[in-house]
């Protein structure tokens, strides 16, 4: 179904819903997009800045309320059904799609939100485990769908926080707020600038004009990401303690500006110094990228992409051979900018290039990648992006 049009996807979801549940009466259909982070990597858990945008791949959920407390959902991706009671929500071991729905329902109930059972069909065309937030998309889609089906009136920011809590506390992944936040609050044809400490945000028009974006999925699963992620967080915490000893007002690395970092950096162990160097410079790059996009200076945004990748590769050490190859191939083929996006160690790169060379650049990346690694990357042209919404039937 990944090559089907939006209308074909909707029609198949409705057909399966009717097959599983008898009729479509009372059904609500919602769509929540995945996301790609344009710039601002590993800054979220350091209370810094991020600048993601939603993409043109999404999770769809068709659901309707029930009068009892039972839940039954069918996954089109996995061709299986899962059932549970709201009074007995238990995590299914392994990476099971139903855990994201269960987690959302559990945290909503714990938050005092009043709703009953439901039934539905789930489908997503966001590539799984690629760093494009398929998990956040299904969590937000579940919360949004329940909100619309039961008339809950949930505030969008609160919904994002509850969706994040579902992943942290129930699914068991210690993610920051960026993914759920942009999946819920991102807007069509905009990127979202977010302060991860205050949750103050701004939707910035994504006026690409003569430029376009490619998302290149290396198809490398991020098997080392979790342990390395925890190690990076510990190294950042060590850097914070050091800077606090010099400037007590420092609460997180976002409080360390380039001048402060330059003044005290030599007192840090080399590895910790490089980790902090990335976070401090990346926060600054996000602010510069926002200014550049508002000024329609896409070439500067591209240069910031390349600088970000160098920092992620050399200072934060979260790249991979496949990601570096995509970035360097894009550079050699005339791209304005390219960088790994997401946690790293695999997953995707994002490429910014002029539209007049975009098709040729995409072909170059694919041909050279197959020749080098013996497999084809997944390439998504970000011609448009979605926002979380109820779909008309």
Query: pLDDT confidence of 226, banded at 50, 70, 90?
Result: low
Query: pLDDT confidence of 175, banded at 50, 70, 90?
Result: confident
pLDDT of 2 above 60: no
Residues 378, 234 contacting (CB under 8 angstroms): no
Mean pLDDT on 121-144? 92
Query: pLDDT confidence of 3, banded at 50, 70, 90?
Result: low
Structure tokens belonging to residue 134: 């398929």
Nearest to 309 by CA among 334, 328, 288, 284: 328
Measure the CA–CA gap between 197 and 251, rounded to whole angstroms.
11
Structure tokens belonging to residue 336: 């304005």
Pinpoint the residues of the chain covered by CATH 3.30.70.890.
211-381
Structure tokens belonging to residue 163: 């969706």
Structure tokens belonging to residue 54: 């939603």
Residues 108, 162 contacting (CB under 8 angstroms): yes
Could you read off the pLDDT of 37-47 as tens digits, one per residue?
999 999 999 99
Measure the CA–CA gap between 81 and 61, rounded to whole angstroms.
14
Query: pLDDT confidence of 83, banded at 50, 70, 90?
Result: very high
Residues 171, 99 contacting (CB under 8 angstroms): yes
Looking at every residue in the chain, the average pLDDT score rounds to 94
Pinpoint the residues of the chain covered by CATH 3.30.230.10.
6-207+385-390
Answer yes or no: 283 catalytic.
Answer: no
Structure tokens belonging to residue 211: 């430029």
Structure tokens belonging to residue 348: 């995707």
Mean pLDDT on 237-262? 98
Nearest 5 degrees, angle CA 33-CA 39-CA 43? 100
Q: Does domain 211-381 have CATH number 3.90.1010.10?
A: no
- How many other CB atoms are there within 10 angstroms of residue 364's CB atom? 17
Residues 176, 44 contacting (CB under 8 angstroms): yes
| Torsion (CA) 380, 386, 390, 393 in degrees, nearest 10 | -60
pLDDT for 260 equals 98
Query: pLDDT confidence of 312, banded at 50, 70, 90?
Result: very high
Measure the CA–CA gap between 25 and 36, rounded to whole angstroms.
35
Could you read off the pLDDT of 276-291 as tens digits, one per residue?
999 999 999 999 999 9
Residues 324, 313 contacting (CB under 8 angstroms): yes
Could you read off the pLDDT of 351-382 as tens digits, one per residue?
999 999 999 999 999 999 999 999 999 999 98
Its pTM stands at: 0.93
Residues 225, 345 contacting (CB under 8 angstroms): yes
pLDDT for 172 equals 85
CA distances from 253 to 66, 177, 283, 382 (A): 47, 17, 9, 32
Percent of the chain with pLDDT over 90: 87
Mean pLDDT on 268-272? 98
Measure the CA–CA gap between 287 and 359, rounded to whole angstroms.
30
List the alpha helices (DSSP H) in the chain. Answer: 6-21, 98-110, 134-150, 156-165, 178-185, 225-246, 258-264, 270-294, 298-314, 321-332, 355-373
Domain covering 6-207+385-390, topology: Ribosomal Protein S5; domain 2 (3.30.230)
The answer for residues whose C-beta is within 8 angstroms of residue 159's C-beta and 6 or more apart is 140, 143, 144, 147, 184
Structure tokens belonging to residue 251: 């609460």
Measure the CA–CA gap between 370 and 156, rounded to whole angstroms.
42
Q: Is the dihedral of CA 181, 51, 40, 359 positive or negative?
A: positive
| Full strand arrangement of the beta sheet holding 378-381 | 337-341, 348-354, 211-217, 378-381
Catalytic residue among 44, 125, 147, 179: 179
Residues 78, 99 contacting (CB under 8 angstroms): no
């Amino acid at each position: 179904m990944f090559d089907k049009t939006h209308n074909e996807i909707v029609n198949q979801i409705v057909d399966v819903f009717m097959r599983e549940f008898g009729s479509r009466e009372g059904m609500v259909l919602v769509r929540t997009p995945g996301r790609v982070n344009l710039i601002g990597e590993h800054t979220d858990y350091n209370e810094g800045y991020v600048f993601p945008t939603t993409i043109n791949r999404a999770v769809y959920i068709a659901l309707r309320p029930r009068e009892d407390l039972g839940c039954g959902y069918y996954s089109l991706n996995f061709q299986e059904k899962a059932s549970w009671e709201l009074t007995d929500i238990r995590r299914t071991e392994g990476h099971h799609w139903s855990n994201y729905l269960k987690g959302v329902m559990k945290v909503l109930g714990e938050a005092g939100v009043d709703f009953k059972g439901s039934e539905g069909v789930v489908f997503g065309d966001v590539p799984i485990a690629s760093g494009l937030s398929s998990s956040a998309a299904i969590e937000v889609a579940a919360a949004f769908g329940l909100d619309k089906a039961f008339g809950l009136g949930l505030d969008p920011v609160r919904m994002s926080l509850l969706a994040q809590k579902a992943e942290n506390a129930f699914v068991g992944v210690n993610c920051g707020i960026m993914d759920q936040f942009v999946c819920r609050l991102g807007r069509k044809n905009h990127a979202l600038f977010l302060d991860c400490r205050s949750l103050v945000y701004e939707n910035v028009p994504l006026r690409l004009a003569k430029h376009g974006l490619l998302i290149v999925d290396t198809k490398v699963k991020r098997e080392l990401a979790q342990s390395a992620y925890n190690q990076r967080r510990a190294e950042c915490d060590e850097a914070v303690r050091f800077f606090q000893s010099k400037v007590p007002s420092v609460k997180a690395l976002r409080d360390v500006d380039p001048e402060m970092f330059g003044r005290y950096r030599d007192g840090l162990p080399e590895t910790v110094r490089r980790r902090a160097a990335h976070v401090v410079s990346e926060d600054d790059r996000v602010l510069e990228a926002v200014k550049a996009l508002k000024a329609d200076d896409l070439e500067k945004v591209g240069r910031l992409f390349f600088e970000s990748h160098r920092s992620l590769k050399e200072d934060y050490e979260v790249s991979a051979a496949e990601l570096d190859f995509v970035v360097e191939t894009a550079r050699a083929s005339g791209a304005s900018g390219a960088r790994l996006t997401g946690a790293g160690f695999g997953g995707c790169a994002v490429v910014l290039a002029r539209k007049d060379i975009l098709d040729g650049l995409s072909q170059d990346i694919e041909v050279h990648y197959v020749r080098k690694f013996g497999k084809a990357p997944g390439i998504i042209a970000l011609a448009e992006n979605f926002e979380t919404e109820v779909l008309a039937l």
